[in-house]
Structure formats: structure tokens, C-alpha cells
Amino acid sequence: MAIEVRIPTILRTYTDGAKQVEGSGATLAELLVDLEQRHGGLRERLVDDGGLRRFVNVYLNDEDVRFLAGLDTPVKDGDTVTVLPAVAGGAI
């Protein structure tokens, strides 16, 4: 068992085109560190010094992790983590 991570089209350059990859860790932060070993560059697209990037949405199962504990959100085998770029913009 592992944690399944769904990758959006725009970030599949880091996963050799794979739509989903697997990883492990006790928290979302640990999972991203684990993924980085096999998918170099991915982590930087998701987090910066302040935590999760503002315009990237990360979901644990069907919950936005911002409503959970962000990078400290506990994860476990069998969970699904989904990454979606936020859809945003504006006139200015």
C-alpha cells in the first residue's frame, strides 16, 4: 500500500507523463519530500518558503488541505492526494 498522488497535466513533465504516482510519508510535507526523490522539481512547484503555494490546490481525498492542516496534514496508506492548479485571474 502507498499513497496515490494525482498529477495535473501541467506538472506531468516532472513525472514522465504519468497521471498518478505513488509515495509515502506520515504528513503531506513528508510525502512531498519522498516524491521529490523520484520526481525532481515537483516539490518546488507546490511549496515555497511560506508553505503551500497560493495558486496550487492540494486535496487529501476530497478535502482541500488548507481546511485541514496544510503541509502538516497527516496522510496514510490508501489515501489519495490530488493536485490541481487553481483557476484564477483577473482584470488587473
Partner 1 sequence: MLAISKDLYDKIVAHARADHPDEACGLIAGPVGSDRPQRFIPMTNAARSPTFYEFDSTEQFHVWTEMDDHDEEPVVIYHSHTATEAYPSRTDVSYASEPGAHYVLVSTRDPEHSEFRSYRITDGQVTEEPVTVVE
Using CB under 8 A as the criterion, which residues of the chain lie in contact with partner 1 when the complex forms? 8-10, 55, 57, 59, 62-64, 66, 82, 84-92
Is-contact 26 72, C-beta < 8 A? no
* DSSP single-letter state for residue 53: -
Closer by beta carbon to partner 1, 13 or else 77? 13
Closer by beta carbon to partner 1, 43 or else 45? 45
Closest approach of Cβ 9 to partner 1, in Å?
7
Closest approach of Cβ 29 to partner 1, in Å?
19
Rg over CA atoms, the chain: 13
Per-residue exposure over 45-54, b if at least 16 CB sit within 10 Å of its own CB, e if not: ebbeeeebee
Closest approach of Cβ 39 to partner 1, in Å?
18
